[in-house]
Amino acid sequence: MNEADAGTTPIRPLVAGNWKMNGLKAALSEALAVDEALAEAGQAVGADVMICPPATMVMVLSELSGKGGLQVGGQDCHANSSGAHTGDVAPEMLADAGAIAVIVGHSERRADHGETDRIVHEKVLAAHRAGLTAIVCVGETIGQRQAGLTLDVVARQLSGSIPDGVTAENVIVAYEPVWAIGTGLTPGTDDVEQVHGMIREHLSGRFGEEGRRIRILYGGSVKPSNAVELMGITNVNGALVGGASLMAKDFLGIVEAYRG
Ligand code: 13P
C-alpha cells in the first residue's frame, strides 16, 4: 500500500483492467471470477479493483458483479449527454448502465480518433457531469522519450486534459508510456518514479491536498511477474492493465501485489 507522499493520507490503490475491444458474452465468466475471488479475499485485498469492458458489456457486468466489490468502468465517452452522434456513448449512458468511472484520453483514442488534450478536457467535464470518475491517460511515444521530451509531453497533457477544480474522488491519472503498451516492455523503476513524481508535483501544485490524494496509476505491460516491483514504486497508486486483465488468473495475479 502506498501512502500519500506528503506522508499523511493513505491512498487506496486501484487495479483497473481495460479490456479494450475485447470481450464477448463468454468473457463475462472471467470478470465474474475476479468478483468471486474478491468476495473470498474480503479485506485481505488492499486495493479497489475495476474492469472496464466494452460498452456492450457494462450493464450486464454491473448487474451480475458486485458481490466482491468489483467496480465497473467505461473506456471512453462523448462530451455530450445525448444527441446526433452515431456510435458514440454518453457518460450519462455509462452511469445509467452501472459504471462508476470512465477512461478518457487513452493513447489509442488519441492516435485512432485524433483526440486532443482539449477534447479530453471536455470529456473529463462530461464524466463529472454524469457523476463518473475520469481516469485520464497520459504518456509519451518512443520518439518523444528518445528525444528527452517525456516530462514535457506528460506535463503538457496534464495541463491540457485535466480541468481546474477536480478532486481525488473524481479524477485518477494513468501514466501509460505508449511504447510500453502491449509490447512487453516497461520503463525502468527510476523512470517510472521520475514521471510519477512529476505528475504528483503537478497535481499537488494545482489541487493542493486533493492533488496529494489523486491516484496515479501506471499502465503498460503490467503482468503478475512485474506487478510487485511496479506497484512498489513511490507515487504509483495502482495499475491500468490491458492484455493481462482479460483472464481472471492473470488479473488476480496483479491484484495479488496488494494482498496484505
Ligand atoms: P497492456 O497492459 O496490454 O500493455 O495495455 C495497457 C493499456 O493500454 C491499458 O490501458
pLDDT in tens, 112-124: 999 999 999 999 9
- For residue 240, the ligand 1 atom closest to its alpha carbon is 9
Ligand 1 neighbour 220 (Cβ under 6 A): yes
Q: What is the pLDDT of residue 103?
A: 99
- What CATH number does the domain containing 75 carry? 3.20.20.70
Task: Note whether residue 1 is domain-resident.
Answer: no
Whether 7 is covered by a domain: the verdict is no
What value does the mean pLDDT take over residues 142-171?
98
**Site to substitute for ligand 1 among 21, 50, 172, 221, most atoms within 8 A of C-beta:** 221
Q: Tell me if 80 is assigned to some domain.
A: yes
CB of 242 shorter than 6 A to ligand 1: yes
* pLDDT for residue 3: 47
Residue 2 has pLDDT above 80, yes or no: no
* pLDDT for residue 174: 99
Q: Is the pLDDT of residue 71 over 50?
A: yes
Query: CA-CA distance, 130 to 133, in Å (whole number)?
Result: 9
Q: Averaged over 155-163, what is the pLDDT? A: 98
> pTM of this prediction?
0.97
Ligand 1 site, residue 162, Cβ cutoff 6 A: no
- Number of structural domains, the chain? 1
Active site residues: 106, 176
Predicted confidence band at 5 (pLDDT cuts at 50, 70, 90)?
very low
Residue 194 belongs to some domain of the structure:
yes
Residue 8 within any structural domain of the chain = no
On whether residue 62 sits in a domain, the answer given is yes
Asked if residue 77 belongs to a domain, the reply is yes
Residue 236 has pLDDT above 50, yes or no: yes
DSSP line for the chain: -PBPTTSSSB---EEEEE--S---GGGHHHHHHHHHHHHHHGGGB-SEEEEE--HHHHHHHHHH--TT--EEEES---SSSSSS-TT---HHHHHHTT-SEEEES-HHHHHHS---HHHHHHHHHHHHHTTPEEEEEE---HHHHHTT-HHHHHHHHHHHHSPTT--TTTEEEEE--GGGTTTS----HHHHHHHHHHHHHHHHHHHHHHHHHSEEEEESS--HHHHHHHHTSTT--EEEESGGGSSHHHHHHHHGGGB-
Cell numbers that stand for 28 in this block: 463475462
Q: Which residue owns the Cα nearest ligand 1 atom 2? A: 242
CB distance 181 to ligand 1 below 6 Å? yes
180 CA closest ligand 1 atom index: 4
Domain hosting 135: range is 14-258
d(CA 213, CA 219): 19
CA atoms within 13 A on the CB side of 173: 34
pLDDT bin (cut points 50, 70, 90) of residue 9 is: low
177 lines ligand 1 (CB under 6 A): no
Confidence band for 41, pLDDT divided at 50, 70 and 90: very high
Where residue 27 falls among pLDDT bands split at 50, 70, 90? very high
Structural Rg of the chain based on CA atoms? 17
4 in any annotated domain: no
| Mean pLDDT score of the chain | 96
Please give the average per-residue pLDDT across 200-225, as a whole number: 98
